[in-house]
A and B are shown apart, each in its own frame.
Chain A
Amino acid sequence: MSIDANRFRTLFPRLCGTLTDAALAPLLECLRPRPFAEGEQLCRQGAHAARAIFILRGEVELRVSAPDVTITLGVLDAGRWTNTIPLIEPGQAEFDVWGRTAGSAVEMTYGDFLALRRDHPGTARVFLGGVISDLSLRLRASELAVGKKSTPPTHSVMRRATGWLGGAVLPPEPEPMVIGEDI
Chain B
Amino acid sequence: MLHQLLENDWLFDDFSARELEQLANAMSEREVYSGEVLVLEDERPDRLFVLLEGAVEVSRKQDGAERVIAKLGPGSMFGLLALLDRGRRAATCVARGRGKVAEMPRDAFDLLYKSNAPLADKFQYAIARQLARDVKQMTRVLIAEALG
Contacts and interface: CB of A to CB of B under 8 A. Distances in A.
Interface string A114-135: 0001000110110011011101
Contacts of B60: 143, 146-147
Interface of B: 60, 62-63, 67, 69, 81, 84-87, 90-91, 110, 113-114, 116, 118, 120-121, 124-125, 127-129, 131-136, 138-143, 145-148
Interface string A66-82: 10010101000000000
Given A125-B124, A136-B81, A136-B84, A179 B114 contact: yes
Given A88-B128, A139-B131, A179-B124, 9 more contacts: A64-B147, A85-B132, A94-B143, A125-B124, A131-B128, A132-B127, A142-B138, A146-B62, A171-B87
What is the size category of the interface that chain A forms with chain B? 35 or more
B145 A85 contact: no
Given A132-B124, A135-B128, A155 B136 contact: no
Contacts, number: 125
Contact of A89 (B91, B129, B147): B129
A164 B134 CA distance: 13
A174 B142 contact: no
Contact of B128 (A121, A132, A178): A132
